[in-house]
Structure 1
Amino acid sequence: MNVLVINAGSSSLKYQLLNTETREVFTKGNCERIGIDGSFIGYTVRGGEKQKLEVALPDHKTAIKHVFQLLEEAGFDQSKIEGIGHRVVQGGWYFPESKVVTDETLGWVREVAPLAPLHNYAEADVIEICRDMFPSIGNVIVADTSFHYNIPEKAHRYALPRDVVDKLHIRKYGAHGTSHRYIWKTTKELLGDDVHKLVSCHLGSGASLSAIQDGHDMDTTMGLTPLDGLIMGTRCGTIDPATVCYLVREGGYTIDEVDTMMNKQSGILAISGVSSDTRDVEERAQKGDAHCQMALDMFFYRTSQLIAEMAQSMHGFDTMAFSAGIGENSDTFRSAICKELAWFGVKIDEEKNSVRSDDPRVISTEDSKIKVLVVPTNEELMIALDVQELLSK
């Protein structure tokens, strides 16, 4: 099936057209700065050179029109697209699994949008645009939270008054579920019966861990929102919740200012004082910048600490897999995190660890008690496979 996968943000729109049987990616791209001056579309066709189209993108509808125009120029008209899959960041209490788009399910995306306002509203708008422009093509919602929805209640419930929790649907929802699901699927295909308890490490500018036991999610590090858990590029991760109250009372900050601070001005950026990009921070640390080195040390410490927490939720683990921008590309980060976990019996082969490849691979030593893998994630494929499964019915 030829499936168009769309990932809409507040001012961006990523897309990829692929075939679920051959796994061929025909074309992919990213519409940037939607509604902002200097908008453009970066795209590639059949793995060719990346091209850039500077074009006004006042809104998502205009962006979608340009996407379909680029698809036609690449040789794919509307009739060749058999389904559209939409990544939705927050599925709330309505999406324990992916669902076909109807008036009702689209309404649910908007209803839970207060949990992810920068993403869900834009995603709902794009779904509506696709339905209006191409009514003959089926659409499917794939929520990032679905994979985590059925984690045990002891893991997802917060110790707040029950009436408040139930009324406002407060619980751990997690994120990156589509990626964690792919990481489990690929690890299982690679190791077979040798993997039962996996700690999946999606480490990028946004980062989360997932404890997956025989395909079932047991716990994850992100919470009600993607702010919880690991230290990230610009997010602070887990801190004492009273910090918010203190900043408001004693610092004079508004709730919105604290929200912006913790989501966009914290994390690696705040600790290093240099950048949210770990490559920049690593380069400066190697030149002796103490703040950058502290940012790295805190990231390694916190990540290894939460890997142990994920292992506890499964009463042990036999495998861990690194993925996403940092996890796939930084041998330094993988090595440092594994050294923190040496007391668990984690050992990696530094020669294997230094290899750059787009293929999933084992990097642990033969005598390591925990198998360690690098698994390049492919959320678009997982979304496309869900589209195929639901629309073929």
Structure 2
Amino acid sequence: MNVLVINAGSSSLKYQLLDVDTGEVFAKGNCERIGIDGSFIGHQERGGEKERLVVDLPDHKTAVKHVFEIIDGLGLPVDGIGHRVVQGGWYFPESAVVDDEVLAKVREVAPLAPLHNYAEADVVEICRELYPSLGNVIVPDTAFHYNMPERAWRYALPRDVVDSLHIRKYGAHGTSHRFIWRAVQEFTDGACHKLVSCHLGSGASLCAVEDGHSVETTMGLTPLDGLIMGTRCGTLDPATVFYLQREGGYTVDEVDTMMNKQSGLLALSGISSDSRDIEEAAAKGDEKAEVALDMFAYRSAQLILEMAEAMEGFDTIAFSAGIGENSDDARARICAKLGWMGVRIDDAKNAVRSDEVREISAADSAIRVLVVPTNEELMIALDVQEKLA
């Protein structure tokens, strides 16, 4: 079954056409700067050279049309479309075939992720309009965390407020954490039962996965909570918001921008939100860069133990996403901070780069440590296959 996976953002649209049964990726790309001057499509076929197609992309509808023109040119059938949806809200404990009611619910919960859900709903609607014969499936990032225990998702706020405004921990990166669990199970032949899944990238979250079920995660009502990230501050005293407004004179929108786009590794290092730049600077003796890396590892180790508590122990850690997969330095720093509890990695194994799942723990490690390249697109495509079968 060939599935077109679409991931729409406020001004971008990623796509990938793949065969669910073989995992072969026929084509993938990204429509950039939608509605902004200088728009283009970066396109790649069957792992070949990347092309930069300069095209006018005034809106998402135009971008979708271009994507289908590109896909049609491959001469391959498209059997279904899968859409990544950031926020499923209080409606979706699993992926869902799109109908009018489902689409309305995606829009209803959009205030929880306004930069993403509105664009995602628009693109789903466009696909239904332009290609009515194709089935569409939404795959919410929050679905994997929907059935966490109440002790994990409920906030200690007045119940009438929480219930009327649907305030709870929703989490994010659920599709990635679900794939990571699946890959770990295959790699360990089912030996893993309590996994701390570490999706560490520009956006970062941890998930406690016990026998395939999410029982705790670090992101909360929004993706701002939890770990220090590229430009997000992560968890801090909520009264900081009030203080910034009262004493600093910042508006709500300014605080929102500060905490989501001007904080995190960018603010700590004063250099970049990209850990590669920060690692390079730290290696040259930059003290702020070193502090940024140390704080990222310290906070990660702290929250790994929070995930472990949710499962009353853990047998495996899996590192994934941009930093988790590619930074041997970040993995080494985090595991070193867990050394007191017997976590050990093999430095030679940790230094290896690979697109395959691999083990980096030392022979005497109390916890198994893996690196798992994530594949959210495949996970989405598998859901499309299941729902449209």
TM-score normalised to structure 2 length: 0.99
Rounded Cα–Cα distance in structure 1 between residues aligned with 2:369 and 2:191: 12
Matched, 1:324 2:321: yes
Amino acid at match of 1:46: R
Show the 5 A alignment for 1:37-56: 37-56=37-56
In the TM superposition, what whole-angstrom CA distance separates every residue of 1:248-273 from its partner, at most 9, and x where no partner exists? 11110000100000000000000111
Show the 5 A alignment for 1:187-198: 187-198=184-195
Amino acid at match of 1:344: M
| 1:117 aligned counterpart, secondary structure | coil
Q: CA deviation at 1:194?
A: 2.1
Equivalent of 1:334 in 331, 336, 356: 331
Matched, 1:287 2:293: no
Show the 5 A alignment for 1:112-127: 112-127=109-124
Please name the residue that 1:250 is paired with: 247
Please name the residue that 1:27 is paired with: 27
Equivalent of 1:207 in 173, 187, 204: 204
Please name the residue that 1:14 is paired with: 14
Please name the residue that 1:381 is paired with: 378
| 1:202 aligned counterpart, secondary structure | strand
Rounded Cα–Cα distance in structure 2 between residues aligned with 1:306 and 1:253: 30
In the TM superposition, what whole-angstrom CA distance separates every residue of 1:94-135 from its partner, at most 9, and x where no partner exists? 110000000000000000000000000000000000000000
In the TM superposition, what whole-angstrom CA distance separates every residue of 1:334-387 from its partner, at most 9, and x where no partner exists? 111100100121111111111100000111012111000000000000000000
Q: CA deviation at 1:71?
A: 1.0
Rounded Cα–Cα distance in structure 2 between residues aligned with 1:193 and 1:186: 10
Rounded Cα–Cα distance in structure 2 between residues aligned with 1:368 and 1:173: 33
Amino acid at match of 1:216: H
Rounded Cα–Cα distance in structure 1 between residues aligned with 2:105 and 2:249: 36
Rounded Cα–Cα distance in structure 2 between residues aligned with 1:372 and 1:234: 27
| 2:36 aligned counterpart, secondary structure | coil
Amino acid at match of 2:80: G
| 1:194 aligned counterpart, secondary structure | coil
Please name the residue that 1:103 is paired with: 100
Matched, 1:269 2:266: yes
Higher mean alpha-carbon deviation, 175-184 vs 189-198, is at: 189-198
Q: How many residues align?
A: 389
Amino acid at match of 1:316: G
Please name the residue that 2:361 is paired with: 364
Please name the residue that 1:146 is paired with: 143
Please name the residue that 2:87 is paired with: 90
| 1:18 aligned counterpart, secondary structure | strand
Equivalent of 1:226 in 223, 226, 243: 223
Q: CA deviation at 1:140?
A: 0.2
Q: Show structure 1 runs of 4+ deviating over 3 A.
A: none
5+ residue gaps, structure 2, are none
Rounded Cα–Cα distance in structure 2 between residues aligned with 1:64 and 1:120: 16
Equivalent of 1:136 in 120, 133, 151: 133
Higher mean alpha-carbon deviation, 117-126 vs 185-194, is at: 185-194
Amino acid at match of 1:242: A
Q: CA deviation at 1:74?
A: 2.4
Higher mean alpha-carbon deviation, 192-201 vs 88-97, is at: 192-201
Q: CA deviation at 1:206?
A: 0.1
Identical aligned pairs, as a percentage? 74
Rounded Cα–Cα distance in structure 2 between residues aligned with 1:25 and 1:326: 23
Rounded Cα–Cα distance in structure 2 between residues aligned with 1:269 and 1:38: 26
Show the 5 A alignment for 1:137-176: 137-176=134-173
Q: CA deviation at 1:43?
A: 1.0
| CA RMSD between the two structures | 0.6
Rounded Cα–Cα distance in structure 1 between residues aligned with 2:207 and 2:201: 14
Rounded Cα–Cα distance in structure 1 between residues aligned with 2:18 and 2:191: 31
Q: CA deviation at 1:192?
A: 2.2
Amino acid at match of 1:60: H
Q: CA deviation at 1:193?
A: 3.6
Q: CA deviation at 1:75?
A: 2.5
Please name the residue that 1:57 is paired with: 57
Please name the residue that 1:3 is paired with: 3
Amino acid at match of 1:372: V
Rounded Cα–Cα distance in structure 2 between residues aligned with 1:383 and 1:150: 19
Matched, 1:309 2:306: yes
Amino acid at match of 1:84: I
Rounded Cα–Cα distance in structure 1 between residues aligned with 2:267 and 2:28: 33
Rounded Cα–Cα distance in structure 2 between residues aligned with 1:14 and 1:4: 10
5+ residue gaps, structure 1, are none
